[in-house]
Chains A and B, each alone.
Chain A
């Protein structure tokens, strides 16, 4: 017997609602589970103290710092390059083979498996350039993923600038570069910034590539020594550094501290919260900048 159209419609709608809520449920469950297991372990001490090898009470202080510092390093390398290439794609590139080729490059680069990039980093940055396991090697490897993202974000942002604004700049007699830098880039900034922060969130959680490049250990850090040349300085980009995501991986696999499971749970919760913060931050900032820029103009 065939269902009447109306019944079919009702059933289908119900199915869609069901699956949509299922997805939300899965995510809520996922986040809830991680937070439920981890939140009770998070405290100021946990966030600031160094990890313990085999005693209870280790923290994730250095790892948290490493993750953030690595992010900053990566951004310092990626942002100028990505914005430059993005501007090229949006403004200078002429339709043709070469441009198609670059587009292909960006596409392929962004879909490389992170483990392949990690291995490449191990071979080239760690061994060949002699950077050893270091923050710099890690940042360079992360740049490989982040760069194509930045290029796309910038290109989109620049392309989204209304034509009139660009033409106004050119009409004022500004060169193309000046028009881009002084008129288009500021207008595109909210889009670029939002995208960058989202991309940063992804960098924050990356582990596979860092296992082979930034290393799995955190040497003694002296948080009073801010000279980047000193080997114990937190700012030294040549020291090996374990990030939060790598730390979770390590603790899960080799941790022998009695509270390893709780630390892993706590660190996971911190990681999720940070990514959440990045997401909300980018949304808020995007909206804020948009409002500010549209109001002033």
Chain B
């Protein structure tokens, strides 16, 4: 028995040592010749996770980067930014500008982070299929999400109570929708539903009569009905020209300038090959196709 315990304890010890061992060889951006080696940890936005995971697998499969290991973590934009700012992760994935998260006393921490925009995500307003409307003006949308309008008949639909499926107030998706779609904060109205995950939002909007919510384009399918905003359809083309306003950058933040390995990965991420295939396959809009740019304050400039 004692022996067994000893064995167990040595195993634990060995594992701990293994832990220390593998930590040492992380991030050793080897610059010998053309082949890079090292490891990258990217953490953050769960919505971006599929994209970054997908690209990282391709990246690691390339022969010149075979020595590099990329680990992708979820945890949410906030966690990603926290971890990159504290040096635990090499890249912090965020669906929102870091400046909007680091406020007040922590604003300096946000400024240390360098923004790499790797894709654009657009969001569409979706409603339950029983709703006969297919277009809402911005003002109508604001009225609905601030609780001024509570029945579909007031915006030209049938007599039915409006059920709002919102996101929690901390959500980056909600901030994007409020900032570029509504232009104002939405209210946490009594009785509305809040879900953080797109999958659940889609399911609930699809099932609940009279429901309205918003989803990234990649989640849209025929279980929900997509609405136009001010007559403009939420399509990639309309986003590229800047006609459709509800979109946001997908950011990958590094603390200071990225090292060689991280830079290689970020460059790979925005390369045409990836942007034309994986990025668009996953329902994002290629960053290279955007004809407009937008800064943190929301000012749009033509490229």
Residues on A facing B (Cβ under 8 Å): 53-54, 73, 76-77, 79-80, 126-127, 130-133, 136, 181-182, 185, 212, 215-217, 219-220, 228-232, 236-240, 250-256, 260
Binds A, one of B158-166, B196-204, B266-274: B196-204
Query: Bound state CA distance, A216 and B53, in angstroms?
Result: 11
Binds A, one of B3-11, B149-157, B288-296: B3-11
Assess the B74–A256 pair: CB atoms within 8 A.
no
- Are A54 and B53 CB-contacts (below 8 A) given A215-B75, A216-B74, A253-B196? no
A251: min CB distance to chain B, Å: 8
| Contacting residue for A217 out of B8, B60, B74, B83, CB 8 A | B74
Q: Which A residues are in CB contact (< 8 Å) with B12?
A: 76-77
Assess the B283–A238 pair: CB atoms within 8 A.
no
A-facing residues in B46-63 (Cβ within 8 Å): 46-47, 49-50, 53-54, 57, 60
User: How does the 8 Å CB contact mask read for B24-55 relative to A, with 1 for contact and 0 for none?
Assistant: 00100000000000010101001101100110
Query: Bound state CA distance, A260 and B9, in angstroms?
Result: 41
Residues on B facing A (Cβ under 8 Å): 1-2, 5, 8-9, 11-12, 15, 18-19, 21-23, 26, 39, 41, 43, 46-47, 49-50, 53-54, 57, 60, 69-75, 83, 86, 88-89, 196-200, 218-219, 281-283
Q: Which A residues are in CB contact (< 8 Å) with B9?
A: 80
Assess the A256–B50 pair: CB atoms within 8 A.
yes
Q: Which A residues are in CB contact (< 8 Å) with B1?
A: 181-182, 185
Q: Which A residues are in CB contact (< 8 Å) with B2?
A: 181
Assess the B18–A252 pair: CB atoms within 8 A.
no
- For A51, the closest partner residue in chain B by CB is B53
| Contacting residue for A54 out of B15, B19, B282, CB 8 A | B282
Q: Which B residues are in CB contact (< 8 Å) with A73?
A: 15
- Are A217 and B19 CB-contacts (below 8 A) given A76-B11, A250-B46? no
* Interface hub of B1, B9, B21, B23 (most chain A Cβ within 10 A): B1
Q: Which A residues are in CB contact (< 8 Å) with B200?
A: 252-253
Q: Which A residues are in CB contact (< 8 Å) with B74?
A: 215-217, 250
B118: min CB distance to chain A, Å: 16
- Are A133 and B73 CB-contacts (below 8 A) given A79-B8, A250-B46? yes
- For A83, the closest partner residue in chain B by CB is B5
Q: Which A residues are in CB contact (< 8 Å) with B11?
A: 76
Q: Which A residues are in CB contact (< 8 Å) with B199?
A: 251-255, 260
Query: Bound state CA distance, A133 and B74, in angstroms?
Result: 10
Query: Bound state CA distance, A228 and B14, in angstroms?
Result: 10
| Contacting residue for A238 out of B19, B72, B197, B198, CB 8 A | B19
Assess the B50–A228 pair: CB atoms within 8 A.
no
B127: min CB distance to chain A, Å: 20
| Contacting residue for B86 out of A76, A127, A136, A240, CB 8 A | A127
Query: Bound state CA distance, A192 and B198, in angstroms?
Result: 44
Q: Which B residues are in CB contact (< 8 Å) with A53?
A: 50, 53-54, 282
Assess the B218–A220 pair: CB atoms within 8 A.
no
Q: Which A residues are in CB contact (< 8 Å) with B69?
A: 219-220, 231-232
Query: Bound state CA distance, A54 and B278, in angstroms?
Result: 10
- Are A127 and B19 CB-contacts (below 8 A) given A132-B41, A254-B46? no
Assess the B282–A239 pair: CB atoms within 8 A.
no
List 15 extra interface pairs beyond A238-B18, A254-B49, CB under 8 A: A53-B54, A76-B15, A79-B8, A127-B83, A127-B86, A130-B88, A131-B19, A185-B1, A215-B75, A216-B49, A217-B53, A228-B18, A252-B197, A254-B47, A255-B199
